[in-house]
Structures are given as structure tokens and as C-alpha cells.
Structure 1
Amino acid sequence: MTSASELRSGKTHRDENFPVASWIIHPRHRALILSFYNFVRTADDIADHATLAADEKLRYLDLMEAELLGNGDTQPEAVNLRRALADRTMPPRHALDVLVAFRMDVTKLRYENWDDVIHYCRYSAMPVGRFMLDVHGESTSTWVASDALCAGLQINNHLQDCAKDYKNLNRVYLPRDALASSGASVEMLGEAKSPPALLACLQALAVRTEALLDQSKSLGAEVRDFRLGLEISVIQAFADRIVGMLKVRDPLSERVHLSPLELLGQSFAGMAGEMARRAIGRRPVSNPAAGA
């Protein structure tokens, strides 16, 4: 095997919890965004591969990094992103950051506390938002609110997939101290339905994630690009709906993903809200806390 492409899971940008290079984004940006997505998706699939040995995963991730930096041409996703970034004279910093998270996925199976999870999000999720903002020429001052949104999206995903991550990869993102304070154990993630202690832990983490998402609400008003503002509003609508489900449902036994109809409804609602906000010139609705 010479290409990491052969390790892809089959998941595409259409399978994510948020739109990727959707029709909302200006066409001139979509090819670069998809190149970034395909690089990240390939690296993620390497880290999550069910049968590949840890040292082989790390070898492939190192190879992806080397070729992103110009040392070789055997990995299509790395080469394509390298060329796409060069066309826009953009550095690979955000792609290099996400590789840090995927190496953590290979070597780190447990997280001690909320700050530990946020540190992971600093590399797994926040670089994605920062990349999008850089593509659109936005100020780095927008990163604070973007970081909150991206971390919230990531933790939503951790809560949605907590049982699958545990059963398939023995990987648990739920903080040890949160489990302990609720009287829950990691082993409960293997059950068909959450025991009361685990459900209390999961729903408390959802409440904390909702507060994190609230810190991102100023982002749409901070960005200048109209299309990007609409995309952000849709992403926030998705995130808000998902965290609302997680606050009241059990991800081990109940649906906590959006149906196609819900995706469509939340998309229109998010865009309508952002267009109305821009039309009346309303200012940001919150002041995000300092990011990581």
C-alpha cells in the first residue's frame, strides 16, 4: 500500500454535521476548501482505522505531513492541498495543526477534564474554522468566536458518537472527572442504553457545550463576507439543534443526528436569521470568552 487514499472510510463532505463548501460559499473558494477537507478526512480516517497498527497510522500521518510540505508526490490529498494553498499563497499551518490532533487520536485514549478536551479541540476543530476565515480574508480577531463554534461542534460530535468511539476504538473523549462526578464509568458506554449516571454526565456535558456555542454567536456579525456569514449561520443552527437533542436524549439509544428534513429547515432558518440581522445592522449578541 503506497497511498493513504486506500485507507479512506468512504465518508465524504456530504456526511458531516455541518456544510462543507456548500453552494452558499462563493465558487472561487470551493476547490481549495474541498482540497483541505479531503486532506483532513484522509488523515482522520487513518487515525480511526479499525485494523491498522498504531505505528503504521503514525507513519502515514508523517508521510501526509512531509508531502504537504513538499517532500514527495505519492499522497494525492497532500499534494492537491499543497498545490491549492500555493495557488493562493497560503501557508499550511492549519493543516499541520489538525495532524497534531490525529496523532493524539492514535496515542491518547482518555481525557482528564474539560480543559484537556478543549486542548484537543484546539488542534482537531479550531484550525478548520481558522482556515475558512483565512480563505475569505477575514481578520484573526474573528478566531475567538470561531474557536468557540468549532469546539462546540467537535464536542457535539464526541457526545453523539461516544458509544461508537468506545466500542470501535476504545477512545473516550468524555472527561474522567465528569464521569466520576456523576458516578458513571467508561464501561457504561458499552451498554445499549445509558444508565442514569452516564445519562446525567452526558447531558451535563451537553449543557456545557451549549454555553460554549453561545460564545460563538457574535461570529456572523464579525465576518465581512456575506456568503461566509450565511454559512456560519447555518452551521450554528445545526449545532444548536444538535446540542438541544443531546440535552434531553440518550445518544446510546436515541437519535441525536439531524434528519434531511431537519437539515433543510435549520438551513433556511439560519440563513433567514442572518439576512435579517445584516439588513437591520444588528451588532454581535455576545462577547466570546478568550479562546485557547
Structure 2
Amino acid sequence: MPLRYTAAPMPVDHYENFPVASLLLPRRLRPAVEALYAFARSADDIADEGDAQAVLRLARLNDYRREIDAIDRGETPRESMFARLAQAVRIHRLPTTLLRDLLDAFSQDVAKTRYADFAELRDYTRRSADPVGRLMLRLFNADSAQHIAWSDDICTSLQLINFWQDVAIDWQKGRIYLPADERAHFGVDESQIAAARVDENWRALLRFQVDRARKMMLAGAPLALALPGRFGWELRLVVQGGLQICAAIEANDYDVFRHRPVLTRIDWLRLIGRAIRMKR
């Protein structure tokens, strides 16, 4: 599940959807989750941070692929981060195809900055977001077909919510995740994003995006009630946090340029209450 849960799970900057330090995470799983997080976060930083040329970023990500190849061969990599990852893969039988999907998504971020339609964007989130939830389900031995389907909805929803709250940040990086055909349908071009102009066209476009993300989150929400114990409670907070960000975008009249949604302590108390009251 997108983007690290520390004090609470939220779609935020970087690869922050692993519950690294959550009090709800069983101690026995923390080494594996931390190994997965270190892998995903460092690979994401290679693709997204600093001023290295694209060819160097892609070469470094290929180095990561070679380390995964070594893990597949049953070898223990020398670098400590990959040695810990190898241990997690072996102990929990984690499918390395999911790790490769993440690397493919990070590589795509290096070169691709526009998306023609939602199908193209969804193909990206299938590799950038969904693997996180699937890996977590495997750790908890809960990766049934239905659970995976729900998890994919939650993960992609979180990724989309992150995109919509970060339109301005992504623009500064030269990226637009809003599908081009949908921007055209609502009459929003790149110059409007550059100017941070919020008008009725923009509100209609972002309302459409937020509504779709919310529907996906609600479609995946049964997973939080289907899973017992700590993981289920973790997911309840994930779902409520994502829904609250959607509500915050709406409350700011879709002006994500000047009002990036943030959750206060009071918001988190409300989220906990809503998580407790969630019903099937």
C-alpha cells in the first residue's frame, strides 16, 4: 500500500506506503518490511532525486535489477541492503516479479512525463503502487485473489490521491499525471497548470479525478475488514486517511496549487474514530 507509515499511514512524498515504524506492525515482520522499504525508497530516490542525467539513473536502476537476478539465483548479495532483501525474499517467499515491477515503474519515471489516457496511467500504477500491497499481503499470508483485487484498488487509489494533491510539485519536476485526453475533455491545458489557474474547468477536472480515486478506495475498503488483527487496523487507517485527503482537496475548492492537503492531530483523532466505526 503507494507511498512509509510512521505515526500514521498517508500518501506523502517519496515511496511512503510501507508501514515501517507503525506500532501496529508485528515485530516479526519489521525486518522484512524495512528491507522492502529501503529497496523501494532508494530506487525511487535514484529515479527522482538529485540532478544526475537520465542515462546514469537508468544505469543505476539496472544495477538493482542485477542484484535481483542474484537473489533469484539463490545468491546473497554483498551490499547490506540487498542482503537483507534477499533474506526477506527467502523467509517469506516474496515474488521478485513484484520487485521488478517497482523498478520498471521507477525507470519509467525517468523518461516518461505525460500520460495519454487513464489506461496508460493505470498501467503505471499497476507497477508503481500495486506491488506494495501485494508484498504486504504475502508477508501476512493473506494474498488470496480477492484480497489482491481489493489491495490493488487501495494502492492505486492512494497513488492517484498523491498525484492530485501534488500536481504543483510534479509540475516543477516536469511531470503531469493528469491524463491528456481527460485534460482536453475538461478544457485544461498545460499552460493552465503552469499558471496555477483554478477556474471551473480545473475544478471539474479535479473533481472527476478525486471522485474516481474515492470510488476505488471504497471498492478496496472491504480488505481492511476482511483481514484480522494489526494488518486490518493498519488498513482501516490507510483507507480513512486517503478518503480524508480527498475531502480536504474538495474543501479547498480543488486549489491544490496553494493548499496542499495536510492532516492535523485533530484529523487523526477523527480518522481513528472512523476506523473503529468501519462496517462491512
TM-score normalised by structure 1 residue count? 0.82
The superposition leaves residues 188-215 of structure 1 with CA deviations (integer Å, 9 ceiling, x where unpaired) of 2223453432232122211111111121
Tell me how far 1:13 sits from its aligned partner. 5.2
Equivalent residues of 1:233, 1:273 under 8 A apart: no
Cα RMSD of the aligned pairs, angstroms, is: 2.2
The superposition leaves residues 98-141 of structure 1 with CA deviations (integer Å, 9 ceiling, x where unpaired) of 11111111121111111111111100111101111110001322
Higher alpha-carbon deviation: 12-21 or 190-199: 12-21
Please say if 1:242 is aligned against 2:269. Answer: no
Partner of 1:79: 83
- Name the CA distance, whole Å, in 1 between partners of 2:67 and 2:5: 22
Residue identity opposite 2:69 in structure 1: L
Pick closer, same or farther for the CA change 1:19–1:46 going to 2, 3 Å.
closer
Please say if 1:150 is aligned against 2:159. Answer: no
The superposition leaves residues 249-283 of structure 1 with CA deviations (integer Å, 9 ceiling, x where unpaired) of 2110113122344234313431x135xx5xxxxxx
Tell me how far 1:242 sits from its aligned partner. 0.7
Partner of 1:48: 48
Please say if 1:20 is aligned against 2:19. Answer: yes
The superposition leaves residues 198-235 of structure 1 with CA deviations (integer Å, 9 ceiling, x where unpaired) of 23212221111111112112112333x32111111110
Please say if 1:182 is aligned against 2:160. Answer: no
- Name the CA distance, whole Å, in 2 between partners of 1:207 and 1:181: 16
- Name the CA distance, whole Å, in 2 between partners of 1:32 and 1:268: 30
Partner of 1:105: 109
- Name the CA distance, whole Å, in 2 between partners of 1:214 and 1:148: 8
Overall identity of the aligned pairs, in %: 26
Pick closer, same or farther for the CA change 1:263–1:63 going to 2, 3 Å.
farther
Please say if 1:254 is aligned against 2:253. Answer: no
- Name the CA distance, whole Å, in 2 between partners of 1:58 and 1:182: 35
Pick closer, same or farther for the CA change 1:178–1:92 going to 2, 3 Å.
same
- Name the CA distance, whole Å, in 1 between partners of 2:169 and 2:229: 37
Tell me how far 1:87 sits from its aligned partner. 2.9
- Name the CA distance, whole Å, in 2 between partners of 1:196 and 1:78: 49
**2:23 counterpart SS class:** coil
**1:137 counterpart SS class:** coil
**1:174 counterpart SS class:** coil
**1:70 counterpart SS class:** helix
Residue identity opposite 2:170 in structure 1: D
Partner of 2:135: 131
Partner of 1:209: 213
- Name the CA distance, whole Å, in 1 between partners of 2:215 and 2:62: 36
Equivalent runs, 1:52-71 vs 2, <5 Å: 52-70=52-70
TM-score normalised by structure 2 residue count? 0.86
In the alignment, which of 154, 158, 163 is matched to residue 168 of structure 2? 163
Tell me how far 1:182 sits from its aligned partner. 1.0
- Name the CA distance, whole Å, in 2 between partners of 1:106 and 1:74: 27
Equivalent residues of 1:46, 1:57 under 8 A apart: yes
Equivalent residues of 1:166, 1:190 under 8 A apart: yes
Pick closer, same or farther for the CA change 1:268–1:63 going to 2, 3 Å.
farther
Partner of 1:233: 236
Equivalent residues of 1:156, 1:239 under 8 A apart: yes
Tell me how far 1:24 sits from its aligned partner. 0.8
The superposition leaves residues 171-190 of structure 1 with CA deviations (integer Å, 9 ceiling, x where unpaired) of 11100011111111123222
- Name the CA distance, whole Å, in 2 between partners of 1:83 and 1:244: 41
- Name the CA distance, whole Å, in 2 between partners of 1:189 and 1:50: 24
- Name the CA distance, whole Å, in 2 between partners of 1:12 and 1:147: 17
Tell me how far 1:16 sits from its aligned partner. 4.8
